[in-house]
Amino acid sequence: MAFLANPDPLLKNCELKLSFDRSDPSVAVLKTDDSASVTDINIEDCFAVTEYISSEDLREYFERIDNEPIIYKYEDMEVLVKTCPYNQTDIRFDNLRGGNTPTHMFAGLVKTAALNGDTSLCSTKFCHYDVEEMNFTLNGSPVNGYPLTLKNGSPIFPMQKFIDATSRTCNITSSKFFNANEFKFNWIYAHHFEAELSAQGWLGVNFKLSEPFDESDGSMSIVIWLICSSALKIDKFHQVEKLNL
């Protein structure tokens, strides 16, 4: 897979550095019983194995760098987390992010304590939480296919949107997807930006609840993922420039 999911391997005499930030174990670990305790989990003797494979075609391809830069295309992901207010049924998060319109946008509701680290809660358990209508906006106007109205807590419409946004519809090469019951615990709202009125602008999320969030239920958060097309341009002097596509 080369790097950054680009099919081309690295240039000769280039070095790729990867850095990782570790979360607290309580974010990713669940207690199996009351006696279990979560302590720091050490990773020891961790290493990566790489292999460089060359060919005449690859060498000819990379020799082009003398005349024009080599471009690696990839996807950037930006994650936003917003705390939902109490005692409101109409919740709005306008002007979340400005600039170029991303290719995809996803959002899900989860308990705030699960994101902060709680061994009794799952940090990836995104559920319905009494949402009656979900809306993604660009420059204040709903994007194509939104607002999404949910009836009787049915996951069918958001699941259909997720399948479509991730190009799984009629795609026989895609991996297995959730069934309706599994989606209820992986409830992600999705949108693929296509034929939008503007290539730039401010993104927003607003939704309506049948019952407002109450302090007795604990704080709730909405997690928003933005996927943007990007590229790295490398010239013959190994000068690197990032491009927002």
Three-class DSSP labels, the chain? CCECCECCCCCCCCCCCCCCCCCCHHHHCCCCCCCCCCCCCCCCCCCCCCCCCCCHHHHHHHHHHHCCCEEEEEEEEEEEEEECCCCCCEEEEEEEECCECCCEEEEEEEEHHHHHCCCCCCCCCEECCCEEEEEEEECCEECCCCCEECCCCCCHHHHHHHHHHCCCCCCCCCCCCCCHHHHCCECCEEEECCCCCCCECCEEEEEEECCCCCHHHCCEEEEEEEEEEEEEEECCCCCEEEEEC
- At 190, the pLDDT band (50, 70, 90 cuts) reads very high
Position with higher pLDDT, 111 vs 172: 111
Distance CA 28, CA 50 (A): 28
Position with higher pLDDT, 7 vs 121: 121
> How far is residue 77 CA from its own chain's centroid?
6
Q: C-alpha angle 139/219/92, rounded to 5°?
A: 15
Domains and CATH numbers, the chain: 25-244 (2.60.120.20)
Query: Which pLDDT belongs to residue 118?
Result: 83
Listed residue (232, 230, 237, 238) closest to 8, CA to CA:
232
Position with higher pLDDT, 48 vs 228: 228
- At 25, the pLDDT band (50, 70, 90 cuts) reads confident
Is the Cβ–Cβ distance between 218 and 76 less than 8 Å?
Answer: no
12-21, 106-115, 155-164: least confident range = 12-21
Query: Which pLDDT belongs to residue 1?
Result: 45
Can you tell me the mean pLDDT for 93-115? Answer: 94
Query: Which pLDDT belongs to residue 153?
Result: 87
Query: Which pLDDT belongs to residue 38?
Result: 64
Is the Cβ–Cβ distance between 150 and 157 less than 8 Å?
Answer: yes
